[in-house]
């Protein structure tokens, strides 16, 4: 039996030397140490030995078993290292190769146009103010010369939250809020970009859109200052050869009020499809601040005057880039937005 143990130990050593797969090592483990393995069979046959021989042979069986276990473990470790080395060599990454270039995001066209508008007016000495999108009826209407029974309220179909709170329908409430904050300081020279809301949705209107409000209050401000300011803006935004015209209009918070048109940059004012053969394109509304609005804000309308204007960012973007459907600006079509 002892000789059999030594032969088995030598045999497994030879078989391990020829093995080059971890699965083969596992097969050898089962062959020699499994429930029906050769060493297990020898252990079971020890019952035929004399009581004196059993402890000696049991000790020897345990020694051989430990030796075989050690040999199997060392061989398994050796093969696993070799396989890992082979795998690492196969999957080696050349870090000197250029990586994949991921597509970069960019500003939305409306943010780009808003930033351009702000840059133009900052260059004229205006400051940028921001206000709440959830506004009180008091600031959205009453402080802009629109009492509760005023018919001009019907011009704006509003989203009311309560009887006295709504989503602002324009950025004009910032006129009153800013004058409240700065009164009696002069001059008041601000623009207020922001999101506004109205119940309107078609190719040229959106229930959520963006405006930029402008306000200048000081001594001896006239309509000529308004026209000069807007002419400078139009030329910086649309080109140095642009002209503007002011058409009489009505806004409750300005008097006189005017719609502002820009000479068509497609036909140069000769008339085309874009300008509906008029040579002019409407871009914004404006006017001289109504004396009642000045008075409610703590300014004496006999001593100071001012002008205000409001422009839709979407309209400026559509005119500047030739976009014919406002809904494209809100659909998040990456192919469309990537053009800008």
Per-block mean pLDDT, blocks of 10 residues, the chain (340 long): 70 76 77 70 68 71 77 82 84 81 86 96 96 94 87 74 91 95 93 92 79 96 96 94 93 94 82 84 94 95 96 92 87 88
Per-residue confidence (pLDDT) for residue 141, from 0 to 100: 92
Residue 94: which residues within 8 A CB-CB, separation 6 or more? none
Q: Is the peptide bond before 184 cis (omega within 30 degrees of 0)?
A: yes
Q: Which pLDDT belongs to residue 193?
A: 97
Determine, yes or no, domain membership for 218. Answer: yes
Looking at the structure, do residues 165 and 215 belong to the same domain, yes or no? yes
Same domain, 183 and 82: no
Q: What is the per-residue pLDDT for 137?
A: 92
179, 157 contact by CB (below 8 A): no
Whether 72 and 126 map to the same domain: the answer is no
- Identify whether residues 14 and 78 lie together within a single domain: yes
Give the separation between CA 152 and CA 50, rounded to whole angstroms: 118
pLDDT of residue 152: 66
pLDDT at 142: 92
Tell me: do 201 and 66 sit in the same domain: no
Are residues 263 and 198 both part of a single domain?
yes
78 and 124 share one domain: no
Residue 80 structural domain: 2-90
Residue 168 belongs to some domain of the structure: yes
Establish if 67 belongs to a structural domain: yes
Task: Confirm if 203 and 325 have CB atoms less than 8 A apart.
Answer: yes
In a domain, 103, yes or no: no
User: Which pLDDT score is estimated for 156?
Assistant: 64
Same-domain status, 226 and 316? yes
Q: Are residues 117 and 76 in the same domain?
A: no
Query: What is the edge-to-edge ordering of all strands in the sheet holding 188-197?
Result: 127-128, 188-197, 208-218, 305-312, 280-289, 254-263, 244-251
Of 35, 57, 90, the residue that ends a domain is 90
Given this model, what pLDDT does residue 2 score? 65
Residue 132 lies in a domain: yes
Show which of 63, 90, 117 is a domain's final residue. Answer: 90
How many domains are there within the chain? 2
pTM above the 0.85 mark?
A: no
């Amino acid at each position: 039996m002892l000789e059999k143990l030594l032969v088995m130990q030598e045999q497994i050593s030879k078989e391990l030397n020829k093995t080059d797969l971890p699965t083969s090592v596992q097969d050898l483990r089962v062959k020699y140490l499994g429930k029906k393995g050769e060493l297990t069979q020898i252990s079971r046959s020890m019952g035929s030995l004399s009581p004196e021989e059993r402890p000696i042979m049991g000790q020897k069986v345990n020694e051989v078993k430990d030796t075989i276990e050690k040999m199997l473990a060392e061989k398994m470790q050796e093969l696993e290292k070799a396989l890992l080395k082979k795998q690492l060599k196969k999957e080696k990454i050349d870090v000197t190769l250029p990586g994949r270039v991921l597509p970069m995001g960019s500003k939305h066209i409306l943010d780009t146009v808003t930033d351009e508008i702000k840059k133009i007016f900052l260059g004229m000495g205006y400051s940028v103010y921001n206000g709440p999108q959830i506004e009180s009826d008091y600031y959205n209407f009453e402080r802009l010369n629109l009492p509760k029974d005023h018919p001009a309220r019907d011009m704006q179909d509003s989203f009311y939250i309560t009887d006295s709170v709504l989503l602002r329908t324009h950025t004009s409430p910032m006129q009153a809020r800013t004058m409240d904050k700065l009164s009696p300081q002069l001059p008041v020279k601000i623009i207020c970009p922001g999101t506004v809301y109205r119940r309107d949705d078609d190719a040229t209107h959106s229930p959520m859109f963006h405006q930029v409000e402008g306000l200048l209050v000081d001594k001896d401000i006239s309509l000529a200052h308004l026209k000069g300011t807007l002419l400078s803006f139009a030329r910086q935004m649309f080109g140095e050869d642009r002209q503007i015209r002011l058409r009489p209009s009505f806004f409750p918070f300005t008097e006189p009020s005017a719609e502002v048109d820009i000479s068509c940059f497609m036909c140069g004012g000769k008339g085309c499809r874009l300008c509906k053969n008029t040579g002019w394109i409407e871009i914004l509304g404006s006017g001289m601040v109504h004396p009642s609005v000045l008075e409610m804000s703590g300014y004496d309308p006999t001593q100071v005057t001012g002008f205000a204007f409001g422009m839709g960012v979407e309209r400026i973007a559509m005119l500047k880039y030739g976009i014919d459907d406002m809904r494209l600006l809100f659909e998040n079509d990456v192919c469309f937005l990537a053009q800008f």
